[in-house]
Structure 1
Amino acid sequence: MTLGHFAVIDTETTGLFPGNHDRIAEIAVITMDRSGTVLDRWETLINPVRDLGKQSIHGIRAKGILDAPRFGDIAEELDWRLSGTIIVAHNLGFDARFLRAEFHRAGLALPDFYLPRGLCTMQMAHEYLPGAGRSLQDCCDSFSIELRHAHSAGDDAEATAVLLSRYMELDPDLGDWDHLLNEAAATTWHDASPTALLAPIHRASGESRETHFLDRIVVRLPEIAGPAEHQEYLALLDRALLDRYLSAHEQSALVAMADELELSRTTVLELHSQYFSSVADTAWADGVLTDEELHDLAIISELLGIESEQLEAATRTRPDSPALAPTMKTAAASYLEPGDLIVLTGDMSRPRSAIEAELKAAGFKPHGAVTRKVKLLVAADPDSLSGKARKARTYGIPVVGEDYLWNQVFHSTGR
């Protein structure tokens, strides 16, 4: 009989409780045969349609999942990939609970026999690595297995696959290996692959260069937009740069605005140059450029694609270029006024109650829900997909990162 394969999986999730509202944010499947040879590695980020939870653990940024499929989009393909295999995971119970919940949401279900017959390399460590510890890192260390990026689904699954192969090498004559694979082959539930396979979305590598949003603005000739359109684009830019960070959402909004107003890339670059000059004028207004202002100019120049020569000139002496109209005031902290409503979302670096106390002491009003009266939404991740963040963007309320509170809001109020 033809042997089936091992499907070694790992998931990264937004939290611990699939029965409530936590979701899978990344999944990987390593297909391996009885000899320990890896036949395929498949992994993808998944848009969980909610905030990403403890990002400090899994390291997934919201901007990385904006174009990622939802679980329902990959459910059929995943079901096919698992057909005819024995599922393996390190702490299989955890991954199995999330798989059940996600397939249920997608209106599908794995065969009843599939998950219960799987192998858990964490549980197997009691037999093969007594006293070594139960974490994947502990077990890998016992065999000098490299775990390159812990809490990355692909690398965790690959390390787990190697760990399983080491177990098989320690106990090569155990009949259960072949018995399970024979059983897997006999219970294949898919004969053919789905008609269409989605292109997986991977984490950005450290070496990859992100495309600057300016490169996505179409070069148009002839130019038909006028000054009113320029001011509309600059107004959006002013809001987007409130926290001196351009989230992926804000970049997309700027690209869409340039497209709607039929602004060419050349014109947008000129508007960025004018905007930068306005900020530089403001910084030099008292005749002194502080280290903080210098840092601010450097950040803005990088975000807006300003040439290094213009940045260097602006840091030497006050630019001669005219400032923008007074309505384009760019001092970030001046956006807020005492009594403004501020909403928090996501897992912050400090307890939410402590941050809310700081806001109250600074004269602002922490608010629990996003309404049109809210002035600002502070998110643990500016690209958050939480319900609060989605509503704030719908209302045109700026969504900023937590750093904005410490570096702009509290700093400006002397907190």
Structure 2
Amino acid sequence: MRQIFFDTETTGLRAEAGDRIIEVGCVEMVNRQLTGNNLHLYINPERASDEEAVRIHGLTDEFLADKPVFASVAEELLEFLRGAELVIHNAGFDVGFMNAELRRLGQPPITDIVGGVRDTLLMARDMFPGKANSLDALCKRLEVDNSSRTLHGALLDAELLAEVYIRLTRGQDSLVMDEGGGNAGSGNADFQLEAIDFSRFQLPVLAASAAELEAHQSLLADLDKASGGKRIWQEA
């Protein structure tokens, strides 16, 4: 299973009002193992960033002025994402911005290109209802070191999200579920686990030694004294 942990930084919060993507971070994971095959792009948005956005990500208009425009990196980005499951924190935001950029190029929406989209914000809200579920909050709750995150950055945030996701899903036998709610990948709709006959096993019985029995009686005597003779479990 190929997954891409995906994050963007933007000139502002409203794709529908003309805000643009300025940074993309992609971290690849295959079968729950990070591959190191990542993609990181800075993009010239061809417009100024909001002051509040710059305070969050630190990417100034001057820094972005000589970076490629989205149209020139779109093919590389889409080829990297093609067929993979995107894992995004607050997916509606990043997907909305990607679709706005793709519309400008006459391209189909990102969901037509990737294998699916998984929103870790929705996952976290199900697991931790009523609690803060920002990426920073999840890092703290799940003990992911985010001490280097002084500013938002797409690649760093994607790397942190990968660590958060592993902790959110640990103990889960399969990350892919079929439509009937069973684990995909069994290869057989009639797949069943073999029943185990526990009568075949001889379990050892360990008897207490004389010293252990004496220590146990001594402990009971101490408890009896401490409770004023009210050890009700011996009344039967």
Taking structure 1 as the reference length, the TM-score comes to 0.40
Structure 1 residues 38 and 144: alpha-carbon distance in aligned structure 2, compared to 1, 3 A threshold: farther
Residue deviations 1:240-297 (CA, integer Å, cap 9, x gap): xxxxxxxxxxxxxxxxxxxxxxxxxxxxxxxxxxxxxxxxxxxxxxxxxxxxxxxxxx
Kindly indicate whether the alpha-carbon contact (under 8 Å) linking 2:4 and 2:87 is maintained by their aligned counterparts in 1.
yes
Identity of aligned residues (%): 31
Distance in 2 of aligned mates of 1:111 and 1:59: 27
Q: State the number of aligned residues.
A: 178
Q: Which residue of 1 aligns with 2:169?
A: 168
Kindly indicate whether the alpha-carbon contact (under 8 Å) linking 1:87 and 1:118 is maintained by their aligned counterparts in 2.
yes
Deviation, structure 1 residue 155: 0.6
Q: 1:138 aligned to 2:137?
A: yes
User: Aligned to 1:118, what secondary structure does the other structure show?
Assistant: strand
Structure 1 residues 172 and 127: alpha-carbon distance in aligned structure 2, compared to 1, 3 A threshold: farther
Q: Which residue of 2 aligns with 1:127?
A: 126
**Relative CO higher for 1 or 2, CA cutoff 8 Å, sep ≥ 6?**
2
Distance in 1 of aligned mates of 2:120 and 2:110: 22
Kindly indicate whether the alpha-carbon contact (under 8 Å) linking 2:82 and 2:115 is maintained by their aligned counterparts in 1.
no
Which of 3, 8, 12 is 1:6 aligned to? 3
Kindly indicate whether the alpha-carbon contact (under 8 Å) linking 2:27 and 2:38 is maintained by their aligned counterparts in 1.
yes
Q: 1:37 aligned to 2:38?
A: no
Kindly indicate whether the alpha-carbon contact (under 8 Å) linking 1:132 and 1:142 is maintained by their aligned counterparts in 2.
no
For 1:30, the aligned partner's letter is: V
Taking structure 2 as the reference length, the TM-score comes to 0.68
Distance in 1 of aligned mates of 2:35 and 2:166: 10
Distance in 1 of aligned mates of 2:44 and 2:11: 11
Distance in 1 of aligned mates of 2:101 and 2:112: 17
Q: CA RMSD in A?
A: 2.4
Structure 1 residues 179 and 15: alpha-carbon distance in aligned structure 2, compared to 1, 3 A threshold: farther
Deviation, structure 1 residue 41: 2.0
User: Aligned to 1:10, what secondary structure does the other structure show?
Assistant: strand
Distance in 2 of aligned mates of 1:138 and 1:170: 21
Deviation, structure 1 residue 49: 0.5
Kindly indicate whether the alpha-carbon contact (under 8 Å) linking 2:83 and 2:115 is maintained by their aligned counterparts in 1.
no
Rg comparison, structure with higher value:
2
For 2:15, the aligned partner's letter is: P
Deviation, structure 1 residue 112: 4.6
Structure 1 residues 85 and 174: alpha-carbon distance in aligned structure 2, compared to 1, 3 A threshold: closer
Q: Which residue of 2 aligns with 1:109?
A: 108
For 2:37, the aligned partner's letter is: D
Greater percentage in helix = 1
For 2:7, the aligned partner's letter is: D
